[in-house]
Structure formats: C-alpha cells, structure tokens
Homo-oligomer: A and B are copies of this chain.
Amino acid sequence: MLLGALEAGGTKMVCALGNEKGEVFERESFPTREPEPTVSDIISYFAGRGIEALGVSSFGPLDLNEDSSTYGSITTTPKPGWQNVPLRTRLMDALGVPVGIDTDVNGAALGEALLGAGKGLKSLVYYTIGTGVGGGAYDHGRLLHGLVHPEMGHMLLRPHADDPAPHGFCPYHDGCLEGMACGKAIEQRWGVPARELPPEHIAWQIEAEYLAQMCVNTIVMLSPQRIVLGGGVMHQEHLFPMVRKRTLELLGGYVAHPAILEHIDSYIVPPALGNNSGAVGSLLLAVRALG
C-alpha cells in the first residue's frame, strides 16, 4: 500500500511516501511560506505518485469536528495568512484521495501508540518539548479531541521556589507549561540556549520539576499506560532520570501501580521512533482515512 504523509509545521512542511507498516520510502521538505505557494508545493510532491490516501499531522489549532463544514481547516493561528485555510479539503480536492488529519502531536501519539513505544498498549500520551510544548493522547483506538483538541502545553503549573521567572513567558498565561518549560523559555530565563547549560546547572532541576508536574497531571487526569517525551529539549538525556525521580516524589505513592512505582524507567520514555513519530503517525492517519 503506497501512502502519503505530511507533517505540516509552522516553519517547514515535510512530505513523505511510505506504507501502512510505517515504513518511510522517501521524504522531502519545503519551507512554510504563504498558504498558496506552500500548498502548491505539497500538491506537486504527491500528485501522480499513486498514493491511496494521505495523512496530515498539522500545526493548529485545527477544526477536527467531522460534522463541521470547516472540518480539517486550520482555524485561529497567529501565523500570517494561515487563518481558516481549508488544508484537508484543498489536498483532498487536488489529489483525489482520502485525507486524514489531526494535530501534529496527536499524529505523533498515534505513531508511537501503534508502532512505537506504545506497541501493544491501549493508551499513551505523547509530549513534544521543543520550541513549544504540545501533547497528544491515544486511548483505546481514539485520538483525543472533543470540543476542540487538547492544548496540553497550556496546563497551569506550580512555580519552583528557585525559578527566577516564576510566571514563565507565555503571552497568554501566567505560568503555563509551555511558558515555563519550552526551549525558548529556558533560553529566555537563563540568557543562553538550553544546550549550552551544563547538566549540573539548576536550570535542569527547574525544568525537571515542570516536566514532572506535567507527568503528574497527565497521570491523574488521563491515566495513560505510558508517557512519551519527545522534542529537542528531551535530547538532553540527563533530563529523563531527573523527571522520573521527581514524578515519583510528587506523586507521593498516591497512584499505586507497579508500572509507576516499580517500572518508571519504562513508563516515562523517549520516542521509540526517534524523529519519525510524526511521519509514521501521518502514515497511520492515511490508513484510517481509508476507513
């Protein structure tokens, strides 16, 4: 089965060909510019390649209500020109194949759930901690969205006592996860890029505190069978043991399950698909679009 995958990001569009097993045969990326030339590039890439369906993991916010007349559109993004772009409809009309669409993080969650770190499990939450922070949730076959889709990067956190910027840097929220813990926030707080901070810098304790609070809130609100932490900030691998330890401390034994109390190393994990979670997830969204 030949399928198309599109990871639609705010800075680049990654197009790929692959199959239902999540195998990626080739990929190409284009810078994200105005909608018209960008969408044209995407269509040119996929046209005439013989794909049976296309899966799109996109930046948002998106309209994911299947009963809506604007299903599959980008909605209120601050990205100039991209408000109300009917991404799914444009691609479906131009390519003449079914198009599945979900958020970038839900796409990655689907990839990890079915073919990555969550293989064999029924539920998984995927976070990317990079320039921003986002989360997607897979539960018993469904990617979570209701009124709109989750915006997990904006949950509110409790400030660390030694944080010199306890309100964080989100323009919308006082002390939300993204504003406290994304790569940009680390850089704004300490004046240097995250990767230049040595592992013993207090910055990492503070970062681990916020990511541990995120894990605690995820456990008590969604109770997934596994939590996957991806994104550029998590390339700092020393963060994983710090986040796991602090998550256990914050939970205080309250959620008593061996997967957490005894096997935290396999409960909070990096993506098994590495940087391919989104591409694989997009291929699986294409499979789902075929029904």
Binary contact track A214-246/B, C-beta < 8 Å → 1, others 0 = 001111111111000000000000000000000
Q: A256, B155: Cβ atoms under 8 Å?
A: no
Per DSSP, chain A at the interface is: loop
Binary contact track A156-177/B, C-beta < 8 Å → 1, others 0 = 1111000000000000111100
Q: B155, A217: Cβ atoms under 8 Å?
A: yes
Binary contact track A66-107/B, C-beta < 8 Å → 1, others 0 = 000000000110000000000000000000000000000000
In Å, the complex CA distance between A144 and B220 comes to 11
How many chain A residues touch B (CB < 8 A): the figure is: 50
Does any Cβ of B come within 8 Å of A198's Cβ? no
Residue from the set A142, A145, A158, A174 with the largest chain B CB neighbour count within 10 Å: A158
In Å, the complex CA distance between A122 and B150 comes to 15
In Å, the complex CA distance between A145 and B216 comes to 15
Q: B225, A173: Cβ atoms under 8 Å?
A: no
Binary contact track A173-192/B, C-beta < 8 Å → 1, others 0 = 11100000000000000000
Does any Cβ of B come within 8 Å of A61's Cβ? yes
Does any Cβ of B come within 8 Å of A148's Cβ? yes
Partner of A156, one of B76, B122, B144, B250: B250
Residue on B nearest A254 in the bound complex, by CB: B172
Given A157-B156, A250-B156: A223 touches B173 (CB 8 Å cut-off)? no
Binary contact track A250-261/B, C-beta < 8 Å → 1, others 0 = 111111110110
In Å, the complex CA distance between A144 and B221 comes to 9
Q: A146, B254: Cβ atoms under 8 Å?
A: no
Given A142-B140, A250-B156: A149 touches B217 (CB 8 Å cut-off)? no
Q: B144, A223: Cβ atoms under 8 Å?
A: yes
**A interface residues, Cβ below 8 angstroms from B:** 61, 75-76, 122-123, 135, 139-140, 142, 144-159, 172-175, 213, 216-225, 250-257, 259-260
